[in-house]
């Protein structure tokens, strides 16, 4: 009788230990599957490409950003009348093309008729190039087709409230080119937005993509522990104007386990100060300048 009880007790113990071990593995798997980004290297984000040197959001600008060792190609998204995602910062085509009106009122075919480069030559004659004349507005797919899966993409959903279905279409394109899933472990794609709602839609569609919450401050930036806790529930990092933050703000964000990528930092003195404060990356129109600063650190 005692022998039988002993065997039963040992069997129950083994079962409980096995269950705990399996639960631990499941927990580890869950933790491993959460989105993240490379923490070993400061992110040099080529803002709209190397837009200090070439027309923003054109293949020429993106290529130059890559040549200047930018870590990420930053792409602002707008959506055409026929549902195509294009690379453009503004809701209207007025500033960066020879057209007028809203992107949402143009078909892709009509967008492709526009000159997206000559404005740069006119505004910055000292940087003008004949090759910039007549540049086209690229689609998101064209950018990915040009640079491939080895490039890193920092994509912003701009004005998502204007474009129903933007998030779903973005995910469709990323999935088409195998830029979701295991790639998020090496931070191949980051999704940013000022719209929390848009980011949460992306999380619902694919919880593996790392998200960055953009924050707009009119005054000097402050952030509470409550806000930081809320951000950590869905985002891996935050971004805001570098002119609104100080060292204490940076350290608060870092202590919460979040990355911080201020924008748009173009002067070496500002780059050096932000690095000293502990930012984990920054947006710049001059990725070449940032690399020069990083080499001296």
CA angle at residue 120 from 116 to 264, to 5 degrees? 100
Give the Cα separation of 226 and 245 in Å (integer): 18
| Active-site position among 53, 57, 89, 259 | 89
Place of tokens 């075919």: 109
89: left (phi over 0), alpha (psi -120 to 50) or beta: alpha
State the burial class of residue 65 (Cβ atoms within 10 Å of its Cβ: 0-12, 13-18, 19+).
buried
Does the annotation mark 89 as catalytic?
yes
Residues 138, 227: Cα–Cα separation, whole Å: 36
Quick check: 68 and 46 in contact, CB under 8 A?
A: yes
The crossing angle, in degrees rounded to 10, of helices 247-255 and 268-277 is 50
Cβ atoms of 137 and 111 within 8 Å: the answer is: yes
> Which of 47, 53, 57, 261 does the annotation list as catalytic?
47
Q: What does 96-146 look like in DSSP terms, one character per residue?
A: TSS--SBGGGS-HHHHTTS-SSHHHHHH-GGG--GGGTTPPPPBHHHHHHH
Q: What's the rounded Cα separation, in Å, for the pair 249 and 267?
A: 21
- Please name which of 45, 72, 43, 74 lies closest in space to residue 280, comparing C-alpha atoms: 43
Can you read off the two tokens belonging to residue 296? Answer: 């001296």
Q: Which residues are catalytic?
A: 47, 89
């Amino acid at each position: 009788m005692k022998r039988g009880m002993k065997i039963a007790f040992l069997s129950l113990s083994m079962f409980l230990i096995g269950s705990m071990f399996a639960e631990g593995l499941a927990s580890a798997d869950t933790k491993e599957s959460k989105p993240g980004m490379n923490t070993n290297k400061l992110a040099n984000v080529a803002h709209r490409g190397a837009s200090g040197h070439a027309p923003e959001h054109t293949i020429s600008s993106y290529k130059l950003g890559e040549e200047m060792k930018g870590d990420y190609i930053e792409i602002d998204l707008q959506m055409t009348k026929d549902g195509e995602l294009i690379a453009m910062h503004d809701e209207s085509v007025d500033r960066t093309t020879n057209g007028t009106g809203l992107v949402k009122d143009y078909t892709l075919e009509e967008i492709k008729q526009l000159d997206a480069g000559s404005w740069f030559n006119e505004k910055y004659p000292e940087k003008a190039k004949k090759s910039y004349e007549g540049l086209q507005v690229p689609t998101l797919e064209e950018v990915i087709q040009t640079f491939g899966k080895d490039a890193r993409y920092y994509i912003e959903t701009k004005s998502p409230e204007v474009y129903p279905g933007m998030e779903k279409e973005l995910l469709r394109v990323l999935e088409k080119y195998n830029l979701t899933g295991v790639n998020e472990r090496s931070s191949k794609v980051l999704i940013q937005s000022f719209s929390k709602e848009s980011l949460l839609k992306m999380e619902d569609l694919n919880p593996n993509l790392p998200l960055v919450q953009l924050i707009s401050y009119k005054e000097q930036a402050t952030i509470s522990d409550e806000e930081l806790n809320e951000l950590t529930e869905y985002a891996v990092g935050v971004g805001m104007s570098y002119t609104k933050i100080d060292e204490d703000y940076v350290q608060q964000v870092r202590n919460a386990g979040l990355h911080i990528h201020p924008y748009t930092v173009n002067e070496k003195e500002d780059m050096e100060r932000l690095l000293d404060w502990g930012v984990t990356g920054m947006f710049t129109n001059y990725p070449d300048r940032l690399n020069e600063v990083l080499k001296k650190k």
